[in-house]
């Protein structure tokens, strides 16, 4: 009798859950309509500027600033993209600026992910005195805005003679407190038994990190990589301080220069923006499933 009494409520609860999920899927509650309405409106607000940018990039410059805006161009001016790549002066410097942005963003991303993963592993799995204090001090640096430290960084870079160079663009941005926080939170849930077993087998800490921990932290690595790459791809202030020659400038500086010229084709300017956005869009959609899993800080599945 005791067993029967324990089983019957469980079945009733299961039926209630199934009925609840079924009703929810049929959107019988007003709250579901409200949530979907908010999501649709938010998606529209986010996608409208992107749609405006793409449509404007193939419009004649006279139609871009027309009010009210016509979402269907009267004619498609694909030469806007040629002008964007060629430049108003015909120097094709945009191609060099794209390569600069890609190289700098890639190197900063690789170093940031590697250093953050190692620091996160140490703070999550290596017991040592003052570990929590070190973590708190690292987190405290997130409260300091970059504008407060960019002048000291600039003076240091100038002192070392790294101005107008890739070294000056990369080295000061190699460490990221948020990256350390993200990797540490992700690796806390990594099973200690796996690490202890590897230590018993005689594996070094770096081998444990490289061969065991890092491969199982791919979601967090990809999430941090995407965030870091996007941040450096859009970085304007630091390259503006460091670079002087047109050959060393990055995409944001080219966009500022293109927009500030006397005769600016708004359609070509939108084409410049579309080209600059493509790598980030491709990166996100190709790595989106890892990106979502990494930000949930769910740890290793087992």
Q: Are 130 and 246 a contacting pair, CB within 8 Å? A: no
- Is the same domain home to 105 and 43? no
Task: Specify if 143 maps to a domain.
Answer: yes
pLDDT string in tens for the chain (302-residue length): 444 444 444 444 444 444 344 444 454 567 788 888 888 999 889 888 888 899 888 888 777 777 787 888 888 888 889 988 988 888 899 999 999 999 999 999 999 999 999 999 999 999 889 999 999 999 999 999 888 999 999 999 999 999 999 999 999 999 889 999 999 999 998 899 999 999 998 989 999 999 999 998 888 898 899 999 999 999 999 999 999 999 999 999 999 888 887 667 888 889 999 999 999 888 888 876 766 665 555 444 43
- How confident is the model at residue 194, as a pLDDT? 92
Task: Specify if 26 maps to a domain.
Answer: yes
Task: Specify if 70 maps to a domain.
Answer: no
Count structural domains, the chain: 2
Task: Specify if 302 maps to a domain.
Answer: no
| C-alpha span between 132 and 123 (Å, rounded) | 8
- Is the same domain home to 103 and 42? no
- How confident is the model at residue 296, as a pLDDT? 59
Q: Which two tokens stand for residue 269?
A: 């300017």
In this structure, the chain runs to a length of 302
- Is the same domain home to 41 and 184? no
Task: Specify if 66 maps to a domain.
Answer: no
Q: Which domain holds residue 15?
A: 2-56
Task: Specify if 224 maps to a domain.
Answer: yes
Nearest 5°: the CA angle 102, 269, 58 is 105
Under DSSP, the state recorded for 129 is: T
- How confident is the model at residue 108, as a pLDDT? 96
Task: Specify if 228 maps to a domain.
Answer: yes
- Is the same domain home to 126 and 257? yes
In the numeric block, the tokens 């019988």 are attached to 28
Task: Specify if 65 maps to a domain.
Answer: no
- How confident is the model at residue 18, as a pLDDT? 43
CATH of the domain at 144: 1.10.3720.10
- Is the same domain home to 135 and 8? no
- Is the same domain home to 43 and 126? no
**Range 98-102 contact pairs with CB under 8 angstroms and sequence separation of 24 or more:** 98/251, 98/275, 98/276, 100/248, 100/249, 100/250, 100/251, 101/232, 101/233, 101/250, 101/251, 101/252, 102/279
- Is the same domain home to 46 and 99? no
pTM (2 decimals)? 0.80
Could you tell me which residues come within 8 angstroms of residue 208 by beta carbon, excluding any fewer than 6 positions away?
A: 195, 198, 199
């Amino acid at each position: 009798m005791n067993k029967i009494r324990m089983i019957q409520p469980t079945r009733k609860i299961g039926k209630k859950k199934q009925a609840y999920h079924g009703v929810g899927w049929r959107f019988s509650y007003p709250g579901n309509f409200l949530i979907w309405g908010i999501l649709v409106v938010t998606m529209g607000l986010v996608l409208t500027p992107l749609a405006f940018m793409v449509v404007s990039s193939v419009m004649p410059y006279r139609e871009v600033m027309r009010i009210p805006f016509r979402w269907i161009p009267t004619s498609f001016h694909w030469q806007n993209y040629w002008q964007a790549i060629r430049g108003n002066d015909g120097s094709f410097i945009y191609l060099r600026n794209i390569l600069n942005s890609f190289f700098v963003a890639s190197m900063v991303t690789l170093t940031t992910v590697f250093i953050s993963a190692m620091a996160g592993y140490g703070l999550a799995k290596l017991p040592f005195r003052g570990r929590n204090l070190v973590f708190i001090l690292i987190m405290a640096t997130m409260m300091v805005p970059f504008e407060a430290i960019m002048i000291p960084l600039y003076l240091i870079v100038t002192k070392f003679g790294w101005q107008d160079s890739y070294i000056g663009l990369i080295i000061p941005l190699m460490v990221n407190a948020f990256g350390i926080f993200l990797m540490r939170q992700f690796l806390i849930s990594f099973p200690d038994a796996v690490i202890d077993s590897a230590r018993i087998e005689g594996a070094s800490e770096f081998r444990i990190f490289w061969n065991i921990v890092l491969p199982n932290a791919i979601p967090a690595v990809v999430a941090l990589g995407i965030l870091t790459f996007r941040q450096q791809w859009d970085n304007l202030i630091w390259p503006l301080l460091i670079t002087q020659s047109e050959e060393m400038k990055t995409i944001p500086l080219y966009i500022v220069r293109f927009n500030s010229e006397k005769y600016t084709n708004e359609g070509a300017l939108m084409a410049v923006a579309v080209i600059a956005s493509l790598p980030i869009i491709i990166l996100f959609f190709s790595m989106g499933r890892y990106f979502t899993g990494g930000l949930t800080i769910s740890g290793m599945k087992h």
